[in-house]
Amino acid sequence: MPIRIQSELPAKERLENENIFVMDEFRASHQDIRALKVCILNLMPLKEETELQLLRVLSNTPLQVDVSFMHVKSHVSQNTSTNHLNKFYTTIDDVREQKFDGMIITGAPVELLEFNEVDYWDELCDIMEWTKTHVTSTFHICWGAQAGLYYHFGLDKVTLPKKLTGIYEHVVYKRKEPLVRGFDDVFLAPHSRYTEVPADAVHACEGLTVLAESKDAGIYIAISEGGKQIFVTGHSEYDRITLDNEYRRDCNKGLNPEIPYHYYPQDDPSKEALLTWRSHSINLYSNWLNYYVYQSTPYDWTKEE
């Protein structure tokens, strides 16, 4: 089944060229189907790139998903045009009275700041509080996961000795939990961050269950009771070239970055990176949509008033 997006969103043509089933608003309005409403709070600077990445992984499901985008009004984006934001994005004020089946809160390149130093922290706290009553399940990514763990459970992040970047092995815990249904015993996923929430703190936190972990990259998936909040510390949505772009960007800045771990063949940046995490990524998002959104959300939100 398709993902449903705005007819003029630039990502639509790219997705169709990749043979991804996309349905525009006009066609969707003529089907008698209650599509899942999923809102993406996009905190990444390159918003159009993140749109594509997330729409790709949301597309491989038998469910029809109506995707909308949100940005924070208390931060001025330097890398996405105002026209794009005005045309395709809402703010929390625009949707405060609405209810959503699912929400995704992306990462953001602000990890080295304390949470209360982030210029939109108060607004993000407002949004995370709002999700408790207006969203069936919220999926937090990377810094978004760290922010969510801090806001909802009081777990703070710590700075790593060096940037964690590359493709890491993870093992599955709690295999009966639907979110990891179909996962291999060991699977790969990308990470790109300077901070982490210590594994001991997450394991010890009442109300959280760890579903996947890496001996090198720490906690990967943690989930609150009933799947109301899901925290994924890596970037399973990343494309083949995303870490490569980040590595070359940092090289051009003179930061002398380390080569992303287990990413290029023979650790040679002149060779095309291997795409080794796509099947896991699609499985993760499909499981979330099916078991924590579709199976849990009411058909008619008005009956929940």
Positions annotated as catalytic residues are 142, 235, 237
Q: With CA atoms as reference, report the closest residue to 41 among 135, 167, 116, 118.
A: 135
3-state DSSP percent of the chain in helix, strand and coil, to 5: 35, 25, 40
Q: What is the largest CA-CA distance in the chain?
A: 57
Two tokens, residue 58: 């949301």
Q: State the first-to-last Cα distance of the chain, in angstroms, to the nearest integer.
A: 30
- Between helix 278-287 and helix 47-58 the angle, nearest 10°, is 70
In a 3-state reduction of DSSP, which class is residue 213? strand
User: How far is the C-alpha of 96 from the C-alpha of 24, rounded, in Å?
Assistant: 24
78-84, Cβ contacts within 8 angstroms, sequence gap of 24 or more = 78/45, 79/45, 79/46, 79/47, 80/45, 80/46, 80/47, 80/48, 84/10, 84/47, 84/48
Strand duo 22-24 + 100-105: pairing: unpaired
Compute the distance between CA of residue 3 and CA of residue 53 in angstroms, rounded to an integer.
Answer: 13
